[in-house]
Amino acid sequence: MRADWNVMGKASEMTKQSIADCFIELVVAQPDPRRRIDVTTLVKKLEIDRKTFYNHFDNTTDLVIWIFRARLAEKLRDRKFYQAELDYPAEELHDKYTDLPCYARFYGRREGELNQGPFFRTVCGVLNEQSEYYRRIFGFACYIDFSRYVELLFIPLFRTDIQIMLGEGRKLSASTHEFLAEYHATGLWGRVRLYFSYLNQSIPDQNLDPVWNYAHTAIRLTLDAMFEGPEGNATFHAQLAQKRCGRPL
């Protein structure tokens, strides 16, 4: 019975991949990229019934999400990420693909240091593999729901990163913490949209080696300035004093 389930599982994944490949082909070939590829067009091209599509995906937005998440997860499960801490969608998002890793966290030598360059370069590679497809996905309003999805996916991940960089002794207000997570997560994907839509080109990954970790470097510098400047330093030591005395921060 287990062997039968394995065969069925592999067949299901092959069907999903066939649907995904056809969808990518149709998006790239669409004469008017402002028009979204719908389920009717897709199943007609594949010569399958609508039930087969809906057995695997809720709608075409779900399909666009799976295309990105499945390929990214495949990359993150590669051997070069064996030292990284893989992370998954936050529970608050009620994400459908909780079994697929969507983030890899690389810890530096110092406490609270994160070196996220390898992860962001991998994301870039996933997007550049299908550059014309993602140019249309990011560049036209008919697929805007995917842009919103990836931003919301990354905000909780950045929130966790900020907590790691803060460490035990430093604490931000909830609103400031959330602002920094939102600012840098949306800024990251805003830059992706800039390249794929407005500049009409893929991300120049070969030229960005020195700055792949830029977002997290900026966060760290912001936190250091907040807590190590004249006012921030006083706040930091006041918080430490409260902690030593056992009072809530």
What is the C-alpha to C-alpha distance for residues 249 and 242, in angstroms, rounded to an integer? Answer: 6
8 or 224, higher pLDDT: 224
Q: What are phi and psi of 152, to 5 degrees?
A: -65, -30
* Residue 40 in tokens: 């009717």
Tokens 């800024």 found at = 187
**14-23, 99-108, 222-231, range with the lowest pLDDT:** 222-231
Helix-helix angle 174-193:144-166, to 10 degrees? 130
Nearest of 196, 72, 73 to residue 139 by alpha carbon: 196
Whether the per-residue pLDDT at 116 is higher than 60: the answer is yes
What is the C-alpha to C-alpha distance for residues 107 and 248, in angstroms, rounded to an integer? Answer: 29
Q: Is 213 exposed, middle or buried (0-12, 13-18, 19+ CB in 10 A)?
A: buried
Helix-helix angle 60-76:117-129, to 10 degrees? 130
Q: Under a CB-based contact definition with an 8 Å cutoff, are residues 67 and 24 in contact? A: yes
pLDDT for position 237: 45
CA angle 118, 124, 127 (to 5 degrees): 145
pLDDT for position 91: 97
Mean pLDDT, residues 216-233 taken together = 80
Mean pLDDT, residues 15-19 taken together = 96
What is the C-alpha to C-alpha distance for residues 83 and 65, in angstroms, rounded to an integer? Answer: 26
Whether the per-residue pLDDT at 10 is higher than 70: the answer is no
What is the C-alpha to C-alpha distance for residues 223 and 180, in angstroms, rounded to an integer? Answer: 10
What is the C-alpha to C-alpha distance for residues 19 and 14, in angstroms, rounded to an integer? Answer: 9
What is the C-alpha to C-alpha distance for residues 150 and 155, in angstroms, rounded to an integer? Answer: 9
Mean pLDDT, residues 44-72 taken together = 97
Mean pLDDT, residues 116-137 taken together = 92
What is the C-alpha to C-alpha distance for residues 234 and 236, in angstroms, rounded to an integer? Answer: 5
Whether the per-residue pLDDT at 60 is higher than 70: the answer is yes
- Dmax over CA atoms of the chain, in Å, equals 71
Mean pLDDT, residues 25-42 taken together = 96
